[in-house]
Amino acid sequence: MTALPAPRGDRVVELSRDGLHARLSEALSLYVRAMGYPPATVEQRAPMWLAHMLREDWRCVAALGEDDTLLGVCYGYRGGAGQWWHEQVRRGLTSVASPELVDEWMRDYFELTELHVRPDAQGRGIGETLLRRLLDGVDADRVLLSTPEGPSKAWRLYRRVGFVDVLRHYQFTGDPRPFAVLGRILPVS
C-alpha cells in the first residue's frame, strides 16, 4: 500500500489485489452499508469482486481512518467486449443512440466499478478524493460508471466532477431499479 494525502487527516492508499483481498470482508460490509443492501449481499458480491481484480488495468484506492478502519473504497478496470457490464450498456445504448455514438463511448474506456464511502464518513470529501486518485493516470479515453437513478450524494459528486449522461433509466438484468450510465472524457482535471 502506498499512502497518499487525504482530506481531514484520513489516509488514502492504493491497494494491490492482495491488499483488497485481505480487506475484502470489511470492504464488502462497507459496500452493503453504503448501498443499503441486505447483509447477505456480501456473500453474493464477493466472487464478483474477486473476479474483477483479475481484469486488465485493475486498480483500487481506499480511505482509511486514524484507527486504520476502511472509510471508503473505489476500484475499476479497463472495460471491454465480453464483460457483463459492457454488454449490458452496449445493448442499452444501441437501442437509443447511433452506432457512431455507441462506438465512441464503448471503444476505449475505464469502468469505474465501485465507489463507496461509509455513511458516517460521507460529506468529508472522501468520495471525490477516491475518484480523482483512482482515475489519475488511467490510460483510456473515457471513464464510464453506472449509478441508481435519483438524487443522491453520488449524483452530486459525479456531476461536480464533470460526468454527463450516456444512458438514463436503464434496467440491468437482475436488478429492478433504474440506473444511469454516466461518462466523461479523461483525464479528470
User: CA of 167: how far to CAs of 44, 90, 93, in Å?
Assistant: 26, 10, 6
SS3 category, 131 = helix
Q: Which of 31, 109, 158, 170 is catalytic?
A: 158
Decide if 170 is catalytic.
Answer: no
Compute the distance between CA of residue 143 and CA of residue 185 in angstroms, rounded to an integer. Answer: 6
Per the listing, cell 472495460 goes with 79
150 close to 133: Cβ distance less than 8 angstroms: no
Contacts of 89 (CB under 8 A, 6+ apart): 106, 144, 146, 166, 167, 170, 181
CA dist 116 and 81 (Å) reads: 26
Taking the C-alpha atoms of residue 18 and residue 84, their distance in angstroms, rounded to an integer, is: 24
Name the residues annotated as catalytic.
158
